[in-house]
């Protein structure tokens, strides 16, 4: 099955797993393409935002913990 089929039927976990394996196996080649560069930049920004949110949550939990 092609990765595009796995992408379009994202509800099936087996197909999603296959897509993940495809991306992992071809990561270096994918990142070198123009769309790969765009995706990498987008994912990097999202990851940075998630990390900042987690850091803030961790800070607030530590400030208000009564343990």
Q: Where do the domains of the chain lie? A: 3-63
For residue 58, what are its two tokens? Answer: 């961790």
pLDDT at 67 over 70: no
Confidence of residue 10 (pLDDT cuts 50, 70, 90): very low
Buried (b) or exposed (e) across 48-64, using 16+ Cβ within 10 A? eeeeeeeeeeeeeeeee
Confidence of residue 12 (pLDDT cuts 50, 70, 90): low
pLDDT (tens digit per residue) in 39-63? 778 888 887 888 888 777 777 777 7
Q: What average pLDDT does the segment 17-34 reach?
A: 77
Whole-prediction pTM: 0.36
């Amino acid at each position: 099955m092609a990765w595009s089929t796995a992408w379009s039927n994202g509800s099936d976990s087996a197909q999603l797993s296959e897509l993940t394996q495809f991306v992992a196996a071809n990561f270096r080649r994918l990142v070198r393409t123009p769309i790969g560069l765009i995706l990498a930049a987008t994912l990097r920004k999202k990851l940075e935002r998630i990390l900042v949110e987690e850091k803030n949550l961790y800070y607030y939990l530590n400030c208000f913990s009564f343990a």
